[in-house]
Amino acid sequence: MVELAVDEFIINWHLSNVDEERQIVESIVRSIKKKCHKLVFDRAYLGKFAEKLSLIEEARKRDTYVLWVLVKRLRALIHDSSKVRICEGRHVIELELIEDQFDRLVAKSALCAEGKEKLLVTTDSDLIGKAKALEKYGVKVLTPHQAEGLLLTS
């Protein structure tokens, strides 16, 4: 089993016009649903993530694809206790170096992942740049492409 924290790319890539990005996100979500993998959310980050889904739902009311496929699927996933673990991420000094609140919360989520591999999946250059600092706490920062490959083989 792999526990991973994902930033909001999982929402943004679902809305992308680039087929490859949508396919990677769908592959990651499918792997989480079908295998023993779990998403891990710091309690505060889960609230922000759900809030972002609600904002998209409100803004795109007329787009039934977005509502039924994206928002409903992700909302169902984040409320599935067999696929999501909510925790209180620990605070480490390196978190203060991350300026964006969303990024800080997703890093905090990754810190509370259990198991030998604590994965943080992101497209954010700031978080990717902090990979070395987070590595000393056992957090491995991956791009969505890398995460897809890992989840499909584990």
CATH number at residue 71: 3.40.50
User: What b/e sequence results for 64-101 when a residue is b if at least 16 CB atoms lie within 10 Å of its CB, and e otherwise?
Assistant: eebeeebbeebeeebeeeebbeebebeebebbeebeee
- Between 66 and 33, residue with greater pLDDT: 33
Entry pTM: 0.88
127-142: per-residue pLDDT in tens?
999 999 999 999 999 9
SS3 120: strand
Domain count, the chain: 1
Residue 87: strand pairing partners: 42
At 132 the pLDDT is 93
75-116: per-residue pLDDT in tens?
899 999 999 999 998 888 888 889 899 999 999 999 999 887
Count of beta carbons in the 10 Å neighbourhood of residue 41: 25
Domain that holds residue 72: 3-153
Q: Which residue in this structure is represented by tokens 């609600």?
A: 54
φ, ψ for residue 119 (rounded to 5)?
-105, 140
